[in-house]
Amino acid sequence: MEPAWRRDRVGLPALLLTALMSTAITPAALSAGLKPGVPAAPDCRTVTPAIAARAALGGPGRHSGSARVQPQIARRGELTGRVLSVQLANGAAVNVNLPVESHVGEATGDLILYTRHTAAAGSEVRALNLANGCDVSLATPTEIVRSSVLDQTANFLYVHSVSRGPRADAGVVRFELATGRQTQVVAPLRPADDFGPIFGTGLHWSVDGAALAAQSCGFGSCLTRVLDVATGKVKRLDAAGQGAFIGLTAGHLVTFAACAGLPCDVLSTDLATGAVTVLAVDAFAAELTPVGAGRALVSIQTSAGSMEVLQ
Amino acid sequence: MKRSIALALGMFVAALTATPVDASLPTPASGGTWAPNQRVEYRWRDGSEPPAWAKPVMNAAAADSNATRKAKAAIFSYDADGPARLAYTDDMPTNYAIGYAVRNIPDSFLIRIRPHGAQLDWGTLRWCQFYNDPPNGCYDLEMVTLHEFGHIQTLGHVDEAAIDIYTDSIMHGSGVHSKAKLGWNQHEFGRCDVARLQIRYEPLTTSTPISTCLDLPTELSLTPGTSSIAYGTSVTLTAKLKIDADASYPNLAGDLLSGRDVSLQRRATGSTAWTTIGDMSAVAGDPGRYVKTMTLTSTYDWRAVFSAPNDEGLRNATSAVSRLSVTYGCTPTAVRRNVSLYETC
pLDDT over 90, % of chain B: 81
Q: Do B4 and A278 touch (CB under 8 A)?
A: yes
Q: Do A216 and B121 touch (CB under 8 A)?
A: yes
Q: Which of B112, B120, B173 is nearest to B141 (CA)?
A: B112
User: Chain A residues with CB inside 8 Å of B51's CB?
Assistant: 73, 75-77
More confident: B13 or A132: A132
User: Chain A residues with CB inside 8 Å of B90's CB?
Assistant: 71, 73, 79, 82
User: Chain A residues with CB inside 8 Å of B11's CB?
Assistant: none
Nearest by CB: A79 against B96, B115, B174:
B115
> What is the complex's ipTM, to 2 decimals?
0.85
Contact B220, B304 (CB under 8 A): yes
B50 touches chain A (CB under 8 A): yes
Nearest by CB: B121 against A78, A169, A265:
A169
Residues 271-310 of A with CB under 8 A from B: 277-279, 281-282, 284, 303
Pairing mode of beta strands B228-230, A169-176: unpaired
Q: How far apart are CA B110 and CA A100, in angstroms?
A: 25
Contact A239, A298 (CB under 8 A): no
Q: How far apart are CA A111 and CA B251, in angstroms?
A: 56
The 3-state DSSP class for residue A20 equals helix
Q: Give the model's pLDDT for residue B173.
A: 81
Read off φ and ψ for residue A136, nearest 5 degrees.
-120, 140
Torsion of CA B248, B252, B256, B257, to 10 degrees: -90
Q: Do B175 and A220 touch (CB under 8 A)?
A: yes
User: Which residues, 6 or more positions from A74, have their beta carbon under 8 angstroms from its beta carbon?
Assistant: A80
Q: Do A261 and B102 touch (CB under 8 A)?
A: yes
Residues 234-253 of A with CB under 8 A from B: 244
A82 touches chain B (CB under 8 A): yes
Closest chain A residue to the Cα of B49, Cα to Cα:
A77
- The C-alpha of B138 sits at a distance from chain A's nearest C-alpha, in angstroms, of 14
Size of interface A-B (CB pairs under 8 A): 141
Q: How far apart are CA B119 and CA A199, in angstroms?
A: 9
Read off φ and ψ for residue A97, nearest 5 degrees.
-80, 130
Mutation for A interface: B122, B126, B139, most A CBs within 10 A: B122
Nearest by CB: B117 against A78, A201, A216:
A78
B338 touches chain A (CB under 8 A): no
A77 touches chain B (CB under 8 A): yes
* Residue A195 CA: distances (Å) to CA of A159, A241, A269, B166: 23, 11, 19, 15
Q: How far apart are CA B342 and CA B345, in angstroms?
A: 9
A151 touches chain B (CB under 8 A): no
User: Chain A residues with CB inside 8 Å of B102's CB?
Assistant: 261-262, 284
Contact A147, A105 (CB under 8 A): yes
Q: How far apart are CA A189 and CA A263, in angstroms?
A: 29
Q: Give the model's pLDDT for residue B4.
A: 45
- The C-alpha of A178 sits at a distance from chain B's nearest C-alpha, in angstroms, of 29
The 3-state DSSP class for residue B60 equals helix
What single DSSP character describes residue B312? S
Q: Which of B20, B63, B340, B29 is nearest to B201 (CA)?
A: B29
A256 touches chain B (CB under 8 A): no
Closest chain A residue to the Cα of B8, Cα to Cα:
A278
User: Chain A residues with CB inside 8 Å of B122's CB?
Assistant: 162, 167, 197-199
Paired residues of B225 in beta bridges: none
- State mean pLDDT over B21-27: 74
- Let me know how long chain B is: 345
Q: Do A244 and B93 touch (CB under 8 A)?
A: yes
B119 touches chain A (CB under 8 A): yes
B106 touches chain A (CB under 8 A): no
Write out chain A's pLDDT in tens, 311 residues: 333 333 333 333 433 444 444 333 344 444 444 444 444 557 888 899 999 999 888 767 667 778 899 999 999 999 999 999 999 988 899 999 999 999 999 999 999 999 999 999 999 999 999 999 999 999 999 999 999 999 999 999 999 999 998 999 999 999 999 999 999 999 999 877 778 899 999 999 999 999 999 999 998 889 999 999 999 999 999 998 999 999 999 999 999 999 878 999 999 999 999 999 999 999 999 999 999 999 999 999 998 899 999 99
Q: Give the rounded distance of the alpha carbon of B84 from its chain centre.
A: 26
Q: Which of A56, A69, A66, A62 is nearest to A205 (CA)?
A: A56
Counting runs of H as helices and runs of E as strands, what totals does chain B give?
Answer: 4, 16
CA angle B116, B121, B127 (to 5 degrees): 20
Q: Give the model's pLDDT for residue B339.
A: 56
Contact A260, B155 (CB under 8 A): no
Contact B315, B217 (CB under 8 A): yes
Q: Give the model's pLDDT for residue A90.
A: 86
CA angle A60, A61, A63 (to 5 degrees): 100
Torsion of CA B67, B73, B74, B77, to 10 degrees: 0
Q: Which of B32, B27, B107, B39 is nearest to B74 (CA)?
A: B39
The per-residue pLDDT of chain B, averaged, comes to: 90
User: Does position B2 have pLDDT exceeding 60, yes or no?
Assistant: no
- The C-alpha of B93 sits at a distance from chain A's nearest C-alpha, in angstroms, of 9
Q: How far apart are CA B211 and CA B252, in angstroms?
A: 12
Q: Do A277 and B5 touch (CB under 8 A)?
A: yes
- Does B106 sit behind a cis peptide bond, omega within 30 degrees of 0 on the bond before it? yes
pLDDT over 70, % of chain B: 88
Q: How far apart are CA A101 and CA A116, in angstroms?
A: 6
DSSP string, A228-269: ETTT--EEEE--TTEEEEEEE-SSEEEEEES-SEESEEEEEE
User: Which residues, 6 or more positions from B35, have their beta carbon under 8 angstroms from its beta carbon?
Assistant: B106
Q: Do A199 and B97 touch (CB under 8 A)?
A: yes
User: Chain B residues with CB inside 8 Å of A101's CB?
Assistant: 119
- Helix orientation angle between B141-152 and B54-68, rounded to the nearest 10 degrees: 50
Q: Do A82 and B54 touch (CB under 8 A)?
A: no
pLDDT of B47-73, one tens digit each?
999 999 999 999 999 999 999 999 999
A68 touches chain B (CB under 8 A): no
Contact A259, A217 (CB under 8 A): no
- State mean pLDDT over B226-235: 89
User: Chain A residues with CB inside 8 Å of B53's CB?
Assistant: 76-77
A221 touches chain B (CB under 8 A): yes
